[in-house]
Amino acid sequence: MNDKLPAGLDLLWGRLDEPAPEPRQGLSLSRIVRAAVEVADTGGLEAVSMARIAERLGFTTMALYRHVKSKNEMLLLMLDSVASVPAELDEPCDDWRLGLQRWCRSQWLMLHAHSWIVQLPVTGPPITPNQLTWTDRALRMLHDTGLTEADKAGVVLLVANYMLTTARLSTDLGPAASGESVAAYSTLLGGLVDAQRFPALRTAIDAGAFDYPPDATEEERQFDYSFGLDRILDGVETLIRHRAG
């Protein structure tokens, strides 16, 4: 049906130790991936085509296929190349909540630095080296919590998915995730929703639940992930207490 996930994994996992062959001239995997990331950064995922990347590198389209099995594989390589984990997450943190919040902040920055990540055709659970490094760092934050390993895995999956979808929503709402598009959405909703069919929703709209307060600062008008994250972390806290008690 669709490409099996393991496509391209050999490339990612194969030469973790070998630094890089990197020929003086001609194509190379890393050059291709670098160019593809540049294209995606400036033009979005939809701008990423084999032809465009080859052109940017001064080669023909088919030359890319000497280094990459398929476009899907290239997307996977792009993802991994961009999803490196910042060093500040390496040091453990004795406050799991603070640790996870830091982890989320780093994710948020990474996802917004390359917002095309969130619209990659999703292909299952994390599997690339950097994805797993993220997972590892998050698990480490939960080290002292007394949760079972299965609990921890579930929590990490939950938090990671939350960050991904929230980042997606944030970028969907507008190129700058600005408050304006939220406002546009809000007024659009206000016009469509009648109290007959959507009583609870109408109430929420009238209460301004979909607005930002008019005196919000610029920063407050950025789409924010903290509300949902706080709920999730509260829930994790409850679980931790429950497991301990």
* 67 is an interface residue for DNA by CB under 7 A: yes
Count residues near a copy of itself (CB under 8 A).
Answer: 70
The CA distance from 25 to 101, in Å, is 44
**Quick one: 13 exposed, middle or buried, by C-beta within 10 A (0-12, 13-18, 19+)?**
middle
* 79 is an interface residue for DNA by CB under 7 A: no
The CA distance from 143 to 149, in Å, is 9
167 within 8 A of 111, measured Cβ to Cβ: yes
Shortest Å distance, C-beta 175 to DNA: 20
Shortest Å distance, C-beta 120 to a copy of itself: 11
What tokens were used for 87?
Answer: 């060093």
* 71 is an interface residue for DNA by CB under 7 A: yes
Q: Which of 105, 162, 178, 183 binds a copy of itself (CB under 8 A)?
A: 162
Shortest Å distance, C-beta 53 to DNA: 8
Contacting a copy of itself within 221-240 (CB under 8 A): 227-228, 230-239
Binding mask 34-53 for DNA (x = CB under 7 A): -------------xxxxxx-
What HEC string does 107-164 produce?
Answer: HHHHHHHCHHHHHCCCCCCCCCHHHHHHHHHHHHHCHHHCCCHHHHHHHHHHHHHHHH
Q: Could you give the dihedral angle defined by the CA atoms of residues 173, 174, 176 and 182, in that order, rounded to the nearest 10 degrees?
A: -50
Residue type, 77: L
* 104 is an interface residue for a copy of itself by CB under 8 A: no
Q: Which of 34, 44, 59, 120 binds DNA (CB under 7 A)?
A: 59
Residue type, 37: V
The CA distance from 67 to 30, in Å, is 10
The length of the chain in residues reads: 245
* 109 is an interface residue for DNA by CB under 7 A: no
Contacting a copy of itself within 176-215 (CB under 8 A): 185, 188-189, 192-193, 197-201, 203-204, 207-210
* 90 is an interface residue for a copy of itself by CB under 8 A: no
Residue type, 109: L
* 120 is an interface residue for DNA by CB under 7 A: no
Binding mask 26-45 for a copy of itself (x = CB under 8 A): ------------------x-
> Which of 43-49's residues contact partners 24+ apart within 8 Å by CB, and which partners?
44/115, 44/116, 45/116, 45/119, 45/120, 48/75, 48/78, 48/116
* 121 is an interface residue for a copy of itself by CB under 8 A: yes
62 binds, among a copy of itself, DNA, none (CB under 5 to 8 A by kind): DNA
* 72 is an interface residue for DNA by CB under 7 A: yes
Interacting residues with DNA (CB under 7 A): 26-27, 47-52, 54, 59-63, 65-67, 70-72
